[in-house]
Protein backbone atom coordinates (compact mmCIF):
# COMPACT_ATOMS: atom_id res chain seq x y z
CA UNK A 1 0.00 0.00 0.00
CA UNK A 2 1.33 3.43 -0.92
CA UNK A 3 0.69 5.57 2.10
CA UNK A 4 -0.63 9.09 1.71
CA UNK A 5 -0.83 11.73 4.38
CA UNK A 6 -2.02 15.28 5.06
CA UNK A 7 -2.15 17.57 8.05
CA UNK A 8 -5.37 19.57 7.83
CA UNK A 9 -5.83 22.72 9.91
CA UNK A 10 -9.50 23.46 10.65
CA UNK A 11 -9.70 27.24 10.82
CA UNK A 12 -12.30 29.97 10.85
CA UNK A 13 -13.98 32.64 12.94
CA UNK A 14 -15.18 31.81 16.47
CA UNK A 15 -18.43 29.81 16.51
CA UNK A 16 -18.24 28.72 12.86
CA UNK A 17 -18.51 25.05 13.90
CA UNK A 18 -14.85 23.94 13.64
CA UNK A 19 -14.85 21.75 16.74
CA UNK A 20 -18.20 20.22 15.84
CA UNK A 21 -16.71 19.34 12.46
CA UNK A 22 -13.59 17.84 14.04
CA UNK A 23 -15.71 15.63 16.31
CA UNK A 24 -17.90 14.54 13.41
CA UNK A 25 -14.99 13.78 11.08
CA UNK A 26 -13.14 11.78 13.71
CA UNK A 27 -16.30 10.11 15.02
CA UNK A 28 -15.21 10.75 18.61
CA UNK A 29 -15.86 13.64 20.90
CA UNK A 30 -12.51 15.38 21.34
CA UNK A 31 -13.27 19.09 21.46
CA UNK A 32 -15.76 21.09 23.50
CA UNK A 33 -18.45 22.79 21.46
CA UNK A 34 -20.80 25.55 22.54
CA UNK A 35 -22.72 28.56 21.36
CA UNK A 36 -20.16 30.80 23.01
CA UNK A 37 -17.47 32.21 20.72
CA UNK A 38 -13.88 31.31 21.71
CA UNK A 39 -14.78 27.92 23.09
CA UNK A 40 -11.60 26.27 21.80
CA UNK A 41 -8.45 27.55 23.44
CA UNK A 42 -5.75 25.28 22.07
CA UNK A 43 -4.93 22.98 19.19
CA UNK A 44 -6.64 19.61 19.24
CA UNK A 45 -5.45 16.75 17.08
CA UNK A 46 -7.84 14.19 15.60
CA UNK A 47 -6.56 11.46 13.26
CA UNK A 48 -8.64 9.58 10.68
CA UNK A 49 -7.45 6.73 8.44
CA UNK A 50 -9.36 6.00 5.25
CA UNK A 51 -7.88 3.43 2.88
CA UNK A 52 -4.32 4.44 2.17
CA UNK A 53 -4.90 8.01 3.37
CA UNK A 54 -4.22 9.29 6.87
CA UNK A 55 -5.63 12.73 7.70
CA UNK A 56 -4.44 14.52 10.82
CA UNK A 57 -6.93 17.27 11.64
CA UNK A 58 -5.90 20.19 13.82
CA UNK A 59 -8.82 22.01 15.41
CA UNK A 60 -7.86 25.57 16.31
CA UNK A 61 -9.20 28.55 18.26
CA UNK A 62 -11.34 30.94 16.23
CA UNK A 63 -9.54 33.82 14.49
CA UNK A 64 -9.97 37.03 16.51
CA UNK A 65 -8.14 40.10 17.78
CA UNK A 66 -6.56 39.12 21.09
CA UNK A 67 -7.25 41.26 24.14
CA UNK A 68 -5.84 39.13 26.94
CA UNK A 69 -2.65 37.09 27.31
CA UNK A 70 -4.87 34.01 27.03
CA UNK A 71 -6.19 35.18 23.65
CA UNK A 72 -2.69 35.95 22.39
CA UNK A 73 -1.79 32.36 23.12
CA UNK A 74 -4.96 31.14 21.40
CA UNK A 75 -4.04 33.05 18.25
CA UNK A 76 -0.49 31.66 18.47
CA UNK A 77 -1.92 28.13 18.48
CA UNK A 78 -3.89 29.02 15.38
CA UNK A 79 -0.83 30.52 13.68
CA UNK A 80 1.27 27.45 14.48
CA UNK A 81 -1.37 25.16 12.96
CA UNK A 82 -1.56 27.31 9.83
CA UNK A 83 2.20 26.96 9.39
CA UNK A 84 2.23 23.24 10.14
CA UNK A 85 -0.68 22.23 7.89
CA UNK A 86 -0.54 20.89 4.33
CA UNK A 87 -4.19 21.68 3.69
CA UNK A 88 -6.49 24.32 5.15
CA UNK A 89 -10.12 23.58 5.93
CA UNK A 90 -11.80 26.96 6.33
CA UNK A 91 -15.12 26.72 8.14
CA UNK A 92 -17.72 29.45 7.70
CA UNK A 93 -21.19 29.74 9.22
CA UNK A 94 -23.30 29.89 6.07
CA UNK A 95 -25.97 31.83 7.95
CA UNK A 96 -23.63 34.72 8.75
CA UNK A 97 -22.32 37.63 6.67
CA UNK A 98 -18.98 38.22 5.05
CA UNK A 99 -17.50 40.81 7.43
CA UNK A 100 -14.07 42.31 8.05
CA UNK A 101 -12.93 39.46 10.33
CA UNK A 102 -13.63 36.87 7.66
CA UNK A 103 -11.98 39.00 4.98
CA UNK A 104 -8.88 39.44 7.06
CA UNK A 105 -8.68 35.69 7.72
CA UNK A 106 -9.15 35.02 4.00
CA UNK A 107 -6.20 37.28 3.25
CA UNK A 108 -4.05 35.40 5.75
CA UNK A 109 -5.07 32.05 4.23
CA UNK A 110 -4.47 33.21 0.66
CA UNK A 111 -1.04 34.48 1.69
CA UNK A 112 0.04 31.03 2.81
CA UNK A 113 -0.32 29.63 -0.70
CA UNK A 114 -1.64 26.28 0.57
CA UNK A 115 -4.72 24.56 -0.85
CA UNK A 116 -7.87 25.78 0.90
CA UNK A 117 -11.23 24.02 1.13
CA UNK A 118 -14.15 26.14 2.27
CA UNK A 119 -16.76 24.32 4.34
CA UNK A 120 -19.98 26.34 4.20
CA UNK A 121 -21.28 25.00 7.47
CA UNK A 122 -24.74 24.89 9.07
CA UNK A 123 -26.36 23.97 5.79
CA UNK A 124 -29.42 22.97 7.81
CA UNK A 125 -30.08 26.58 8.82
CA UNK A 126 -30.07 28.35 5.44
CA UNK A 127 -31.90 28.36 2.12
CA UNK A 128 -30.29 27.23 -1.13
CA UNK A 129 -30.30 30.82 -2.35
CA UNK A 130 -28.46 32.02 0.69
CA UNK A 131 -25.91 29.23 0.32
CA UNK A 132 -25.25 30.26 -3.27
CA UNK A 133 -24.82 33.87 -2.19
CA UNK A 134 -22.24 32.85 0.38
CA UNK A 135 -20.37 30.69 -2.10
CA UNK A 136 -20.23 33.53 -4.61
CA UNK A 137 -19.10 36.03 -1.96
CA UNK A 138 -16.20 33.80 -0.87
CA UNK A 139 -15.18 32.33 -4.21
CA UNK A 140 -12.63 34.94 -5.20
CA UNK A 141 -11.14 35.62 -1.78
CA UNK A 142 -8.71 32.73 -2.03
CA UNK A 143 -7.28 31.51 -5.35
CA UNK A 144 -8.26 27.95 -6.25
CA UNK A 145 -10.78 27.71 -3.42
CA UNK A 146 -12.88 24.52 -3.36
CA UNK A 147 -16.30 24.95 -1.76
CA UNK A 148 -18.45 22.32 0.01
CA UNK A 149 -21.73 23.09 1.76
CA UNK A 150 -22.26 20.77 4.75
CA UNK A 151 -23.66 20.47 8.25
CA UNK A 152 -21.06 19.45 10.80
CA UNK A 153 -23.69 18.87 13.45
CA UNK A 154 -25.81 16.42 11.49
CA UNK A 155 -23.06 15.03 9.25
CA UNK A 156 -24.92 16.14 6.13
CA UNK A 157 -22.94 16.19 2.87
CA UNK A 158 -19.58 15.09 4.23
CA UNK A 159 -18.81 12.78 1.27
CA UNK A 160 -17.69 15.55 -1.10
CA UNK A 161 -15.47 16.89 1.68
CA UNK A 162 -13.82 13.49 2.18
CA UNK A 163 -13.21 13.30 -1.56
CA UNK A 164 -11.50 16.70 -1.65
CA UNK A 165 -9.44 15.92 1.45
CA UNK A 166 -8.28 12.55 0.09
CA UNK A 167 -7.37 14.15 -3.20
CA UNK A 168 -5.37 16.77 -1.32
CA UNK A 169 -3.28 14.24 0.61
CA UNK A 170 0.21 13.90 -0.79
CA UNK A 171 2.34 10.78 -1.04
CA UNK A 172 4.15 10.18 2.18
CA UNK A 173 4.21 7.95 5.23
CA UNK A 174 1.57 8.14 7.92
CA UNK A 175 2.74 10.22 10.83
CA UNK A 176 0.64 8.46 13.46
CA UNK A 177 0.03 4.84 14.48
CA UNK A 178 -3.05 3.38 12.84
CA UNK A 179 -4.87 2.99 16.17
CA UNK A 180 -4.20 6.48 17.52
CA UNK A 181 -6.94 9.04 17.03
CA UNK A 182 -5.72 11.88 19.25
CA UNK A 183 -2.80 13.04 21.35
CA UNK A 184 -5.10 14.41 24.04
CA UNK A 185 -4.67 12.63 27.37
CA UNK A 186 -7.65 11.47 29.43
CA UNK A 187 -6.99 14.37 31.79
CA UNK A 188 -7.00 16.90 28.97
CA UNK A 189 -10.25 15.48 27.61
CA UNK A 190 -11.77 15.55 31.09
CA UNK A 191 -10.75 19.19 31.50
CA UNK A 192 -12.26 20.07 28.13
CA UNK A 193 -15.55 18.29 28.85
CA UNK A 194 -15.97 19.88 32.27
CA UNK A 195 -15.36 23.32 30.77
CA UNK A 196 -17.88 22.59 28.03
CA UNK A 197 -20.58 21.98 30.60
CA UNK A 198 -19.74 25.27 32.32
CA UNK A 199 -19.88 27.15 29.00
CA UNK A 200 -23.21 25.65 28.10
CA UNK A 201 -24.81 26.72 31.37
CA UNK A 202 -23.39 30.20 31.83
CA UNK A 203 -23.84 33.48 29.97
CA UNK A 204 -22.15 36.72 28.96
CA UNK A 205 -18.81 37.46 30.55
CA UNK A 206 -18.72 34.48 32.94
CA UNK A 207 -17.72 31.71 30.49
CA UNK A 208 -14.82 33.68 28.99
CA UNK A 209 -13.24 33.95 32.43
CA UNK A 210 -13.56 30.27 33.29
CA UNK A 211 -10.70 27.78 33.30
CA UNK A 212 -10.70 24.17 34.46
CA UNK A 213 -7.88 22.19 35.95
CA UNK A 214 -7.84 18.58 37.10
CA UNK A 215 -6.31 18.87 40.57
CA UNK A 216 -6.42 15.17 41.52
CA UNK A 217 -7.05 11.94 39.63
CA UNK A 218 -7.34 9.05 42.04
CA UNK A 219 -7.62 5.49 40.76
CA UNK A 220 -6.73 3.56 43.88
CA UNK A 221 -5.13 3.86 47.32
CA UNK A 222 -5.78 5.93 50.39
CA UNK A 223 -8.18 8.53 49.07
CA UNK A 224 -10.14 6.19 46.79
CA UNK A 225 -13.80 6.42 47.88
CA UNK A 226 -15.10 3.33 49.66
CA UNK A 227 -18.45 3.51 47.93
CA UNK A 228 -17.06 3.79 44.40
CA UNK A 229 -16.76 0.39 42.69
CA UNK A 230 -13.20 -0.85 42.15
CA UNK A 231 -11.62 0.10 38.83
CA UNK A 232 -13.16 3.55 38.88
CA UNK A 233 -11.68 7.00 39.19
CA UNK A 234 -12.25 9.97 41.47
CA UNK A 235 -11.60 13.22 39.63
CA UNK A 236 -11.24 16.47 41.51
CA UNK A 237 -11.64 19.44 39.20
CA UNK A 238 -10.93 23.06 39.96
CA UNK A 239 -13.05 25.61 38.17
CA UNK A 240 -11.31 28.98 38.17
CA UNK A 241 -13.31 32.15 37.76
CA UNK A 242 -12.15 35.75 37.56
CA UNK A 243 -14.39 37.34 40.16
CA UNK A 244 -16.22 36.53 43.36
CA UNK A 245 -19.47 37.57 41.65
CA UNK A 246 -18.83 34.96 38.95
CA UNK A 247 -18.27 32.32 41.60
CA UNK A 248 -21.68 33.14 43.01
CA UNK A 249 -23.30 32.80 39.59
CA UNK A 250 -21.57 29.48 38.98
CA UNK A 251 -22.63 28.03 42.30
CA UNK A 252 -26.21 29.17 41.75
CA UNK A 253 -29.09 29.23 44.21
CA UNK A 254 -28.31 26.68 46.91
CA UNK A 255 -25.49 25.27 44.74
CA UNK A 256 -27.94 24.21 42.08
CA UNK A 257 -25.96 25.38 39.05
CA UNK A 258 -22.67 23.70 39.96
CA UNK A 259 -24.54 20.52 40.88
CA UNK A 260 -26.07 20.49 37.41
CA UNK A 261 -22.69 21.05 35.78
CA UNK A 262 -21.07 18.35 37.90
CA UNK A 263 -23.76 15.82 37.05
CA UNK A 264 -23.68 16.35 33.31
CA UNK A 265 -19.87 16.38 33.21
CA UNK A 266 -19.75 13.20 35.29
CA UNK A 267 -22.11 11.46 32.87
CA UNK A 268 -19.93 12.45 29.94
CA UNK A 269 -16.74 11.35 31.69
CA UNK A 270 -18.21 7.92 32.38
CA UNK A 271 -18.86 7.56 28.67
CA UNK A 272 -15.37 8.74 27.83
CA UNK A 273 -13.49 6.61 30.34
CA UNK A 274 -15.79 3.58 30.23
CA UNK A 275 -15.58 3.02 33.97
CA UNK A 276 -17.14 4.31 37.19
CA UNK A 277 -16.37 8.01 37.68
CA UNK A 278 -16.94 10.30 40.64
CA UNK A 279 -16.44 13.94 39.81
CA UNK A 280 -16.00 16.64 42.42
CA UNK A 281 -15.79 20.30 41.48
CA UNK A 282 -14.38 23.22 43.44
CA UNK A 283 -14.99 26.76 42.25
CA UNK A 284 -12.12 29.14 43.02
CA UNK A 285 -11.58 32.82 42.36
CA UNK A 286 -8.30 33.70 40.69
CA UNK A 287 -8.46 37.36 39.73
CA UNK A 288 -7.06 38.26 36.34
CA UNK A 289 -5.75 34.75 35.57
CA UNK A 290 -6.33 35.37 31.85
CA UNK A 291 -3.54 37.94 31.85
CA UNK A 292 -1.04 36.01 33.96
CA UNK A 293 1.46 33.91 31.99
CA UNK A 294 2.33 31.79 35.06
CA UNK A 295 -1.33 30.84 35.44
CA UNK A 296 -1.67 30.09 31.75
CA UNK A 297 1.43 27.84 31.91
CA UNK A 298 -0.01 25.98 34.86
CA UNK A 299 -3.28 25.47 33.03
CA UNK A 300 -1.42 24.20 29.98
CA UNK A 301 -2.85 26.98 27.80
Smallest distance from the beta carbon of 288 to ligand GTP, in angstroms? 22
Q: Which residue is nearest to ligand GTP (CB)?
A: 62
Comparison of 154 and 245: residue with beta carbon closer to ligand GTP: 154
Instruction: Assess contact for 119 and 152: CB atoms under 8 A.
Output: yes
Q: Is residue 35 a contact point for ligand GTP (CB under 6 A)? A: yes
16 binds, among Mg ion, ligand GTP, none (CB under 5 to 8 A by kind): ligand GTP
Smallest distance from the beta carbon of 289 to ligand GTP, in angstroms? 19
Smallest distance from the beta carbon of 55 to Mg ion, in angstroms? 18
Exposed, middle or buried, 253 (CB in 10 Å: 0-12/13-18/19+)?
exposed
Share in percent of the chain as helix, strand, coil (round to 5): 40, 25, 35
Strand-pairing partners, residue 149, are 120
Smallest distance from the beta carbon of 65 to ligand GTP, in angstroms? 14
Q: For residue 237, which of 269, 203, 271 has the smallest C-alpha distance? A: 269
Strand-pairing partners, residue 8, are 57, 87
Distance CA 44, CA 164 (A): 22
Q: Is residue 207 a contact point for ligand GTP (CB under 6 A)? A: no
Strand bridging mode 116-121 / 87-93: parallel
Q: Which of 34, 182, 184, 266 binds ligand GTP (CB under 6 A)?
A: 34
Q: Is residue 39 a contact point for ligand GTP (CB under 6 A)? A: yes
For 189, residues 6+ apart whose C-beta sits below 8 A from its C-beta are 30, 272
Q: Which of residues 4-43 bind Mg ion (CB under 5 A)?
A: 18-19, 39-40
DSSP assignment, residue 240? Answer: E
Q: Please write down the HEC assignment for all residues of 11-27.
A: EECCCCCHHHHHHHHHC
Taking CB under 6 A as the binding criterion, the range among 30-38, 184-192, 242-250, 279-287 that sits at the site for ligand GTP is: 30-38
Comparison of 99 and 113: residue with beta carbon closer to ligand GTP: 99
Comparison of 153 and 275: residue with beta carbon closer to ligand GTP: 153
Instruction: Summarize as ranges the residues that interact with Mg ion (CB under 5 A).
Output: 18-19, 39-40
Amino acid sequence: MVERFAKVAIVGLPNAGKSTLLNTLVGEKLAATSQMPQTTRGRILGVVNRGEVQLAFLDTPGFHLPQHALNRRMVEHLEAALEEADLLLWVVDAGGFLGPGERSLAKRLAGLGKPVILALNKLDTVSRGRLMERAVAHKDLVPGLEIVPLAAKTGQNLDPLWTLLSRGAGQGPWLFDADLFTDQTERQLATEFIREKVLRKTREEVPHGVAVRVARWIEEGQDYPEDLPPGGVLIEGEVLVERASHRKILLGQGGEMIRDIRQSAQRELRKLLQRPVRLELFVKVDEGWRDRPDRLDRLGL
